[in-house]
Amino acid sequence: MLQKLEQHADKVEYYTDLIIGYATEYGLKILGALAIFFVGKWIIQKMVLLMRRAMERSNVDETLISFAGNALNVALMIALIVAAASNLGINTTSFVAVFGAAGLAIGLALKDTLSNVGAAVLIIFFRPFKVGDFIETSGVMGTVKTITLFSTTLTTTDNRSIIIPNGALIAGNIINYTGNTTRRIDMVFDIDYKDDLKLAKTVILEILQAHPKVLKEPEPLVAVGALAQNSVQLLARPWVNVDDYWDTMFEVTEAVKTAFDSNRITVPFPQMVTHVIQEEKK
């Protein structure tokens, strides 16, 4: 009985020494890995925050700030995990191989999605438009509401939301109506052939020159555009600030119609004259 107790005590002592040895050897490594991870994570958060603040002070677009912050955070976190694993004695070469294989597999599976991400990078860096611009693309028109890594959302004039994948967006033509500070309004007014042409031009030009939102430079232009089938077409070309485009067009159109009525200048409508020839009965 005494011998069995001694054997049991020896086993307990052996396993106790074994546990203490492993705890001494790997405990410090685990604590070191945890310290590396949590301290590194705190440093990464501070670095990303400092980068975002620096870009905000430089008036960088918010979409670019978000994209750069997320990319930096992911890259540094991967490096941090590899460093923590290396401290545990794990062969990080296998991690690199696994990450490479996983990246290749994900890239092949999500190639269409990643093409949208690549398109977002092009949009962010080359900036053919920005949030708030009114654009026409892919057969639709609207104000740019948001630009994400995968799609761009437009809000139409009747308040509908249109979501366009970035890859499809940059594959076609993009017309940015508000990319410049000024814009020309192209207007056409029809008058009858019997009306006073010079008077009509004077009336339109005086309205444009008196309108507060029409720019003085470049000067507004009024000219005969065409001798149409039923009317003489007068072209009006005023320049305005982009934000005043629609209001000015509506106000000038109404003012011209009112002035035409006051000066007895008619706006003709399509007409067809039919001549009836009657033959005498034999």
pLDDT of 118-171, one tens digit each? 787 788 778 888 888 999 998 899 999 988 778 899 999 899 999 999 888 888
Whether 20 is covered by a domain: the verdict is yes
Whether 208 is covered by a domain: the verdict is yes
Using one digit for the tens of pLDDT, what is the confidence trace for 220-248? 999 999 998 889 999 999 999 999 999 99
Q: Are residues 172 and 197 in the same domain?
A: no
Each as own residue / partner, the long-range contacts of residues 225-233 (CB below 8 Å, 24 or more positions apart, any chain) are 225/188, 228/190, 229/270, 230/190, 230/268, 230/269, 230/270, 230/271, 231/190, 231/191, 231/192, 231/193, 231/267, 231/268, 232/190, 232/191, 232/192, 232/193, 232/195, 232/197, 233/188, 233/189, 233/190
DSSP state, residue 232: E
Per-residue pLDDT at 3: 58
What is the arithmetic mean of pLDDT over 90-102? 64
Per-residue pLDDT at 127: 82
Q: Which residue has the higher pLDDT, 39 or 211?
A: 211
Whether 274 is covered by a domain: the verdict is no
Domain count of the fold of the chain: 3
Q: Are residues 138 and 189 in the same domain?
A: no
Q: How many CB atoms lie within 10 A of CB 274?
A: 4
Whether 117 is covered by a domain: the verdict is no
Whether 211 is covered by a domain: the verdict is yes
CB 126 within 8 A of CB 116: no
Check which CATH number belongs to the domain holding 208 and give it: 3.30.70.100
Whether 279 is covered by a domain: the verdict is no
Q: Which residue has the higher pLDDT, 153 or 66?
A: 153
Nearest to 237 by CA among 225, 255, 227, 247: 225
Check which CATH number belongs to the domain holding 37 and give it: 1.10.287.1260
Q: Would the pLDDT of 105 be above 60?
A: yes
Per-residue pLDDT at 24: 60
Q: Which residues of 239-258 are buried (b: 16+ CB within 10 A; e: fewer)?
A: bbeeebbeebbebbeebbee
Strand order in the sheet with 232-237: 187-191, 232-237, 221-227
Whether 276 is covered by a domain: the verdict is no
Bridge-partner residues for 123, per DSSP? none
What is the arithmetic mean of pLDDT over 53-65? 74
Q: Are residues 209 and 245 in the same domain?
A: yes
Q: Which residue has the higher pLDDT, 184 or 57?
A: 184
Using one digit for the tens of pLDDT, what is the confidence trace for 2-37? 555 555 555 656 556 556 665 666 666 777 777 888
CB 124 within 8 A of CB 131: no
Q: Are residues 146 and 194 in the same domain?
A: no
Using one digit for the tens of pLDDT, what is the confidence trace for 165-217? 988 888 888 999 988 999 999 999 999 999 999 999 999 999 999 999 999 99
What is the arithmetic mean of pLDDT over 110-122? 73
Whether 228 is covered by a domain: the verdict is yes
Q: Are residues 135 and 210 in the same domain?
A: no
Q: Are residues 93 and 144 in the same domain?
A: no
Whether the pTM exceeds 0.85: the reply is no
Per-residue pLDDT at 166: 87
Q: Are residues 165 and 198 in the same domain?
A: no
CB 71 within 8 A of CB 118: no
Per-residue pLDDT at 125: 77
Pairing of strands 232-237, 134-137: unpaired
Domain assignment of residue 138, given as a range: 128-176
Per-residue pLDDT at 264: 92
